[in-house]
Structure 1
Amino acid sequence: MKKVFDKNLKFVSIAIMSIVTTSLVLTFKQKSIEAKTTLAAENNSIMQSGNNDIIPKPRSFQKGNGKFVLKKDASIYVKGNTDEETEEISKIAEFIKEKFKGSTGFELNIIKSDNPPAGSIYLTTVGSDQSLGNEGYKIETTGDIVKVIAYKPEGISRALQSLRQLLPAAIESKNVVTNVEWSIPVSTINDKPEYAYRGLMLDVARHFFTVDEVKRQIDHAALYKINSVHLHLSDDQGWRLEIKKWPDLTTIGGSTEVGGGPGGYYTQEQFKDLVKYAAERYVEIIPEFDMPGHSNAALASYGFLNPDGKKKPLYTDIKVGFSSFMTHDEKTYQFIEDVIKEVAEISPSKYIHIGGDEAENTKKEDYDYFVGRVSEIVKKHGKTPIGWDPIDTSPKIDLTTVLQNWKDSNQAAREKGMNIIVSIAKKAYLDMKYNEKTPYGLDWAGYIPVETAYKWDLTDYAPQKLVLGIEAPLWTETISDTKAMDYMIYPRLLGYAEIGWTPKEQRDWNEYRARLEKQGLRFKTLGINYYDDSSVWLRR
């Protein structure tokens, strides 16, 4: 009897084990299928989305039915209103051709013609609307063709940055990606910017960054329609641009940085190369030389700039407010004119930035005289001066100078009718930490989470009629490499770009957050070390 029982028990045990094993296998397979389905759905949602996921948000996006699929035999057709314009559009087409080639492997032809066949991308200024301005554009996508129309070639360049975002994020890959359908949703986009100036400032004086490192940031910023990169080229810790008449500015003044590192500088040829590279992306490089304060690198290079005729020691700390040019010595102004003259000759920008903030070691009346006189030197050489506040409080400064406003007060600029670039520190400074756990940056202006960076408007700080635009500065006292630079810039720069591009009434944090989440895969593909904010990229 026991043997029969044991035999039956063994049979039952085997049966139960079989059922359990089968159940586990089926469960595993089901979960695997569900996981793959979820991943595919997420990938499809991110890479094939037909919604308006573009940043900055276009003014008008109308979705249709279907999609345009880019294939290997496609061509880019270009046509301007003149031969010169057609040639300029061709250069823009070359840029996007090379961009697409890396990831698709397609060798797209560029054809100068206004008769594009099905399967083509067509870039044109013919028959466009002047109301679009220099940067506005229209993208009409059908199942057969993508047509990009703009009043100026610059608008076509901005449109193609939107087109990149309509394609799967894998389009940003430097290596050929297979098993991806390069599709664009059928849609019509009408778009133009709210403000003419949308800037990123890079402080290359506190820590030096190479030409290639700056180019990389230009590329990333241009994707989100940033059109100005302001280079802070001098400060107490370093002088970063070659001035041929005064070579010790770079050999001595450029020889160090915060913490005592090796520093570095750009030759004039390197600077011109950087300007050309940016211009190909319709980004303007704006040079800044900070004065009368923040000037120790110059004072350490040449003794005649100091009252005792002796060179100051090189400086590698981060405190501010101790240095100053002599404001009533003609040698100072001759030196400054030499610098401005050389820079004006190699910089096509309409602007030269003359600094002007935190001049704590300069008497107010001396400061007023100095910034007024230097602004006249800049204008003498055909440029428009920009200065940080409180430059607007000088009686010598008028509306021909632009104020870059980093504090809350700009009353003098308002009264004078000066144009204002809004860079309020507690809202727009990229070197401010996201929160107390941020491994880089400072917090003297407070923490700036991603949401805080987005939820404000330029008209909170200046009348709209005076606002030239927005600029987000990255001061680099604690930023010494591209990993840290990326982390502090992204994703906040996208919010600043949208504040400058998209009208206030069309912006909403919750809607923006959904679009920003889609950019995570694009950041990863581009190799951007972004701050992975858990309030944006929800943990699954």
Structure 2
Amino acid sequence: MKNIYTKHLKTVYILIVFLVLVAVSSIIILDENNKVEPTFSMQSNIVNNIIPKPLNYESGEGAFTLTKNSSIYVKGNTEEETEEIVKIAEFLKEKLKPSTGFELKIVKGNNVPSGSIYLTTVGANKDKGNEGYEVITTPENVKIIGYKPEGIFRGVQTLRQLLPSDIEKNTVTADVKWTIPVSTIKDKPEYEYRGVMIDVARHFFTVDEIKRQIDLAAQYKINKVHLHLSDDQGWRLEIKKWPDLTNIGGSTQVGGGPGGYYTQEQFKDLVKYAAERYIEIVPEFDMPGHTNAALASYGFLNKDGQKKPLYTDTKVGFSSLMTDDEKTYEFIEDIIREVSEISPSKYIHIGGDEADSTKKEDYDYFVGRVSKIVEKYGKTAIGWDPIDTSSKINSSVILQNWKDSNEAARAKNMKMIISIAEKAYLDMKYNENTPYGLDWAGYIPVETAYKWDPTDYAPKELVLGVEAPLWTETILNTEAMDYMIYPRLLGYSEIGWTPKNARNWDEYKNRLKSQGERMKNQGINYYKDENIWTVEKK
């Protein structure tokens, strides 16, 4: 019995010693100079949880650690390109600083020391295109290489997702080790147009509110923000020749609120802010229907010469410009000319939907003539269906397809932006309990929003890309906007970026789950789908 008892004591003693050693090792770490270093929380970021999913991801052993001594090195093929990459480095620095507290140095050159990040276009493959990139991470360095600076910027968004999710906090987090897993990522987009639309006509949103949405969308490689700038309830962009469009037409919104508008200087500021994130602002002025704000601003746009009453309800299809009056086209040309001067986008969206008060032959003539005015100012016209059914419209115009009907566009070989309402409308409720939004096109749960492809609706060679529109009849503030956009926009970004054969809902759902903490850290009021995230019951 004594021998057995002694053996048990020895066993217990060894176990206690082992547990003590483990506890001590979790409290201190000795560096190579035998100095005591504090431990760090090692957040799990070793799995590819990137959204949109990269084309190719190869993992390796080990990790790169970002420290206060790290620098960002930049090198372009030309001095001009180097300066552009410097701005991307400044963007990255500002994104990393709040949570790390690091004041990373930016250095021009390619003699990159260990512990640094290197952004370059030197030696990049042309086949990656303007937005393609590689992120090559070793224990010593991170290299992001793109054929164009735009590709480097897309790679920077991937880099942010390779870091622990605390990187998105806006206060210094001292107990996190800022590691990036050793890996090689090669990536480029499937479609060139990946957009989100914000309706600022039904409810107006300020410059800062739109900038915030631009910044959030950019991290998921969205490259177009389409602003719906006019509708029955409001006109939102200053037109200097016709000031009453904003003085009167911009004075209200759905429900009769205060409305608002952007001056041309504010619009240019928005365009610049978006361009720094390689996002193109696409301006839209809806016509010949959805025009009551204009009709209420100027009497000459109406047959009786009288201004229409301002409108604050949500009914559609009742308003129309006069399609047989030259004053109408002179007015439209003034708008397109002024907008062309302040908008570098290659596109001007001319609306074209729900013109129920316009005769078909008048509609056909009108959209054809307006598209030619757009072309006159060096822009490409985009229009909602049924613009493709006009005999005056050809393949020089792009169809934004929101109904499952585009036979005319196919026959004319028109490029299309796929925005099918039943799949892509961000204002559709998730389910019957959603506190915002509408349901006329049905409910769009997160899974439904992800499980479709543009080629379900058009031949791939005609698909320019995808866009998710947020109509704002019921969206009054940023909280509601966040809720309806996120997390569905992440799925739409992946549909536009990642090839169909590389996408799978069950696998995507796991990556989306990991994004929840990042969205929370950024203050996004996202919809917490109980099929993806565990929601605490109140």
TM-score normalised to structure 2 length: 0.92
Instruction: State the Cα deviation string for residues 28-72 of structure 1 (Å, max 9, x = none).
Output: xxxxx9xxxxxxxxx978x43211100000011111010000000
Question: In structure 2, what is the equivalent of residue 289 of structure 1?
Answer: 285
Whether 1:143 and 2:139 are equivalent positions in the alignment is yes
Is 1:173 the counterpart of 2:159 in the alignment? no
Aligned to 1:215: 211
Aligned partner of 2:34 in structure 1 is none
Indicate yes or no: 2:503 matched with 1:500.
Answer: no
Equivalent positions of 1:165-204 (< 5 A) are 165-204=161-200
Unaligned segments of structure 1, at least 5 residues:
1-32, 34-42
What's 2:421 paired with?
Answer: 425
8 Å CA contact retained: 2:137, 2:181: yes
**Paired residues of 1:48 and 1:167 also in contact (CA < 8 A):** no
Matched residue, 1:463: 459
Structure 1 counterpart of 2:337, from 303, 328, 341? 341
Alpha-carbon distance between aligned partners in 2 of 1:440 and 1:356, rounded to the nearest angstrom = 26
Out of 78, 94, 109, the position equivalent to 2:74 is 78
Task: Give 2:316's aligned residue.
Answer: 320
- C-alpha distance in 2, partners of 1:49/1:339? 50
Paired amino acid for 1:362: T
Counterparts of 1:152-171 in structure 2 under 5 Å? 152-171=148-167
Secondary structure of 1:473's aligned partner: strand
Contact 1:48 1:183 in 2 (8 A): no
Task: Give deviations 1:90-126, integer Å, cap 9, x for gaps.
Answer: 0100011111111111111111101101000000000
Which residue is 2:11 aligned to? none
1:538 corresponds, among 525, 534, 538, to 534
CA drift at 1:538: 3.3
Shift of residue 172 of structure 1?
A: 1.3
Q: Which moved more, 1:195-204 or 1:99-108?
A: 99-108
Deviation readout 1:66-85 (Å, 9 max, x if unpaired): 00000001100000011100
Match of 1:235 among 231, 235, 241: 231
> 2:99 and 2:237 mapped to 1: Cα distance?
36
Question: What amino acid maps onto 2:178 in structure 1?
Answer: W
Aligned residue for 2:398?
Answer: 402
- In 2, distance between residues paired with 1:56 and 1:523? 15
Q: 1:100 aligns with which of 86, 91, 96?
A: 96
* Mapped partners of 1:219, 1:295: distance in 2: 30
Instruction: Name the SS for the 1:272 alignment partner.
Output: helix
Contact 2:51 2:494 in 1 (8 A): yes
**Contact map agreement 1:72 1:107 (CA 8 A) in 2:** yes
8 Å Cα contact 1:198/1:470 also seen in 2: yes
State whether structure 2 residue 362 is matched by structure 1 residue 353. Answer: no
CA distance in structure 1 between the partners assigned to 2:534 and 2:464 by the alignment:
36
The aligned residue for residue 368 of structure 2 is: 372
Q: Does 2:472 correspond to 1:479?
A: no
1:18 matched to which residue of 2? none
In 2, the alpha carbon distance for the partners of 1:162 and 1:81 equals 23
Distance in structure 1 (CA, Å) of the matches to 2:472 and 2:53: 29
> What letter corresponds to residue 106 of structure 1 in structure 2?
F
Q: TM-score, normalised by structure 1?
A: 0.91
The residue number in structure 1 matching 2:246 is 250
Match of 2:32 in 1: none
For residue 286 of structure 2, give the secondary structure of its aligned residue in structure 1. coil
Q: Which runs of 5+ in 2 are unaligned?
A: 1-22, 24-39
Q: Name the aligned partner's letter for residue 73 of structure 2.
A: Y
The runs of 4+ residues in structure 1 deviating greater than 2 Å are none
Displacement of 1:215 in angstroms is 0.3
Number of residue pairs aligned between Structure 1 and Structure 2: 499
- Show CA shifts across 1:232-276 (max 9, x none): 000000000000000000000000000000000000000000000
RMSD across aligned C-alpha pairs, in angstroms? 1.3
Counterpart CA distance in 2 for 1:237 and 1:318 is 8
For 1:146, give the aligned amino acid.
V
Displacement of 1:175 in angstroms is: 1.5
Q: Could you list the per-position Cα deviations for residues 385-433 of structure 1 after superposition, in whole angstroms to 9, with x for gaps in the alignment?
A: 0000000000100000000000000001001011000000000000000
Q: Secondary structure at the match of 2:59?
A: strand
The one-letter code matched in structure 2 to 1:238 is G
